[in-house]
Amino acid sequence: MGKLGYLDTSRHTKPSAKRN
């Protein structure tokens, strides 16, 4: 996913997910 993908992951998981 794009923006929503990194926003949700960063919020639920560690900041590292933001990079994925």
Nearest residue to 19 via CA among 11, 4, 10, 8:
10
> Model pTM greater than 0.85?
no
Q: Which tens digits make up the pLDDT trace of 1-20?
A: 556 666 666 566 666 555 55
Kindly tell me the burial class for residue 10, based on how many C-beta atoms sit within 10 Å of its own C-beta (0-12, 13-18, 19 or more).
Answer: middle
Contact status, residue 7 vs residue 15, Cβ threshold 8 Å: no
- State the pLDDT at residue 2: 57
Q: What is the pLDDT of residue 19?
A: 56
